[in-house]
């Protein structure tokens, strides 16, 4: 029986180092309206005291490679959440890269075979991949998949939009991202 192809290892440290911090990435974007919206969201989002304490108390560095581009609505909605989390912890190091910058990396994180962003890849302080997130919360991804299966993506997108409207402080996204941060920073199983 033939063996499946083996993917080459990713040098996550090099990928991370090739990326830009949020502010610099945002300044180099292409969509001024989206850039302004993301800056506003960063200033508007409020983390709970529990989340702030957890992030401030991380014992290990967590590295995040964020595959994102400012033209995308999901990036506009979710990159600011990741930035607010990063601002709350000296141990959360986030760098932004584009799909074209690292196509060999991005191709490993397709969503149901499609190119969807953002994708946030969470790495330990030893550059071990510990999980990924995106392009939207799990519940929303399931709704879109169900809409595709049912042949009515429009209805699924309307339901997703209603869920976003019902969560203006992005608490669902915060919870999912914090879970990945905790995993990548853990010191024991």
Token pair 């989390």: residue: 85
pLDDT of residue 1: 63
Is pTM, for the whole model, over 0.85?
yes
Burial group, residue 160, by CB count within 10 angstroms (0-12, 13-18, 19+): buried
CA-closest candidate to residue 41, choices 10, 88, 78, 86: 78
Three-class secondary structure of residue 20 per DSSP = strand
Instruction: Using the CB atoms, write b or e for 14-27: b if 16+ within 10 Å.
Output: ebbeebbebeebbe
Beta bridge partners of residue 181, listed in sequence order: none
pLDDT per residue over 47-96, tens digit each? 999 999 999 999 999 999 999 999 999 999 999 999 999 999 999 999 99
Is the pLDDT at 152 greater than 70, yes or no?
A: yes
CB 68 within 8 A of CB 132: no
Name all contacts of 84-87 with Cβ < 8 Å and 24+ positions apart.
84/42, 84/45, 84/47, 85/47, 85/51, 85/55, 85/174, 85/177, 85/178, 85/181, 86/22, 87/42
- pLDDT tens digits, 167-184: 999 999 999 999 999 999
- DSSP 8-class letter at 135: S
Report the pLDDT value the prediction gives residue 114, as an integer from 0 to 100. Answer: 84
- Domains of the chain, with CATH numbers? 12-136+169-185 (3.40.30.10)
């Amino acid at each position: 029986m033939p063996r499946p192809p083996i993917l080459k290892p990713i040098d996550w440290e090099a990928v991370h180092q090739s990326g830009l911090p949020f502010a610099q990435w945002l300044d180099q974007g292409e969509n001024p309206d989206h850039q302004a919206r993301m800056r506003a969201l960063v200033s508007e989002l409020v983390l709970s005291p529990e989340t702030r304490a957890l992030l401030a108390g991380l014992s290990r560095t967590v590295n995040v490679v964020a595959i994102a581009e400012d033209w995308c609505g999901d990036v506009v909605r979710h990159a600011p959440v990741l930035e607010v989390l990063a601002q709350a912890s000296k141990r959360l190091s986030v760098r932004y890269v584009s799909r074209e910058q690292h196509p060999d990396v991005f191709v490993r994180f397709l969503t149901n075979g499609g190119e969807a962003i953002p994708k946030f890849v969470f790495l330990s302080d030893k550059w071990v991949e510990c999980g990924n997130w995106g392009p939207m919360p799990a519940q929303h991804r399931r709704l879109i998949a169900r809409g595709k299966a049912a042949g009515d993506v429009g209805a699924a997108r309307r339901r997703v939009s209603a869920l976003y409207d019902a969560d203006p402080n992005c608490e669902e996204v915060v919870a999912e991202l914090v879970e990945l941060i905790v995993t990548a920073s853990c010191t024991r199983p």
